[in-house]
Structure 1
Amino acid sequence: MHHVPTLDIRRYDSDRDAFVAELGAAYRQFGFCCISGHGIDRELIDGAYDAFRRFFALPDEVKRKYHVPGGGGARGYTPFKVETAKDSQYPDLKEFWHIGREIPRDSAFAAWMPPNLWPEEVPEFRSYGYGLYQALDALGSRVLRALALHIGLPEHYFADKTDQGNSILRPIHYPPITEENIPNVRAGAHEDINFITLLVGASAEGLEVLTREGTWLPITTQGDAIVVNIGDMLQRLTNHVYPSTTHRVVNPRNENARKPRYSVPFFLHPNPDVVLDPLPECVTPDNPRRYDTSLTAHEYLQQRLREIRLI
């Protein structure tokens, strides 16, 4: 039975070569790995989840004050059944909020990265939400260092390509399934758009990954482990050396389907002007270059947001 491995990121400092080899092998096979030993404070994670739950429990008309029409869901609140997985006929059974990077308003990227919104009804939302954003951003940068080494790049290759990334922390609420005959999927089968995604609190059942053999493999984490997977932008940049694997969230086949599910993925994006051409290190006779057109991260993101009906 295949399973997605859990690796302790502290081994990057104590046992680097072996850790990089094992991490790289996990991503080449699954596009997914679980990372433990990351040191993110449990109180920060629990405090953030509590603040997010309290926001989603607010009345619908209060939450909708923070919905930005025409904003593509970039910041603030996106209501239930808006986002639709690419090529899916059903909208996803979820509502969510987007927290983005805080950047100076005179930044070259300010037009693409609007200021954050914060719900006044839940005062702790801001400190916990942005605290978790920064912690996951830092952890993602550590994972990218190991991924860079695995494909023969300098350790800090990605540092100046992600330090102003249009990254998003997305608290999600999947309400309890109360209707019968509803599609058995809370979030349709999809691949992520970005570089890597870090998912905190995937302890609730439902997340499944499509293996190369075409079967759905459930992923739940133990202890402090965080699920980290490859997105389409990194797949493109590495010429598919690191695959962006199809995954979905299904309804549990037990009483947990009647319970709400909360999930907080962090989508780590490159800076908007990074060109996503395949890296020469990833183009070989066995893996010829797969992309001929040049695209920046921002152009790619816009194209994909249209496909999932957010813009």
Structure 2
Amino acid sequence: MTDMQFPWGKNKRYNDFPSSFKRRFSERIQKISIDAGFTCPNRDGSKGVGGCTYCNNNSFNPAYCSPKKSISEQILLGIDFFNAKYKAQYYLAYFQAYSNTYGHIDHLKKIYEEALSHDKVIGLVIGTRPDCVSESLLEYLEELAKDYYISIEYGVESVNDLALESINRGHTYQEAEDTILKTANRGIHIGAHLVNGLPFDTPKMMIKHAVQLSNLPIDTLKLHQLQILNNTTMAKQYEEKPEQFYLFEMEEYLDFVVDVIEQINPNVTLERFINQAPKGWLIAPKWGIKNFEFVDKLDKKLVERDTWQGKLFQVKD
């Protein structure tokens, strides 16, 4: 089976996002993270306070990324940062911190267009929640998508409403599914995100969550293991009741990801499998492995099990 040709090309055993991106663009494309000073409805009191119990945005914001700087300044700093590593590339403005559609449509248009005004920026990647997207915003992004690469990444996190409630998420899974369907067929790239290991979720349920999402009109799926981070509500909960959480061992999670890969829709690209918290932030689980090392182990495990993305996929009726 080592010479097998898969629909997404070569002998890669899953439909990986970097290769998909290379097929789409001839130049190297790099995301530049932007913090535009947004909040979330489960932070500002409209749906709750405190935000998601696991959330600490400081654990993944790059040094150049700060709401104290304008959108244009953050883009210039990001370009300088990446120019030191790579030459001749274009950029996507990645609105990453908190819910980046949670605001008045006029304000959203202003900041998105400021980002797109740089001649090296060819599109937007917008991280948000499924309950923070209006019809007027989707219509606007649909227009932008005629000229730019436009992607919305929805934090679905779990298909289990008990798990969502336990993390103070403030929306249901049905809201996520409805919003994904409303976003489809507009030329907008749709990404979805799942966290594996939340309270009330079991490994068997988590596999079903990924399969269920892959049956929706999403283009990209991001997975990562639950991490307990310092200075979060979840850190206190974990200290008091660690038995409520399902923290994978690394080898166990590796097998779990293979189980997911062989059951999900082969048309969905897989962008990420694990999260890496910076030193000093992570309480548990401490795997001590980098993303590229995990991917290398994953490639070997797929060969070892002689499986690939969609091998066991069943088309939903």
TM range (shorter): under 0.3
The structure in which a higher percent of residues are helix is: 2
- TM (normalized to structure 1)? 0.26
- TM (normalized to structure 2)? 0.26
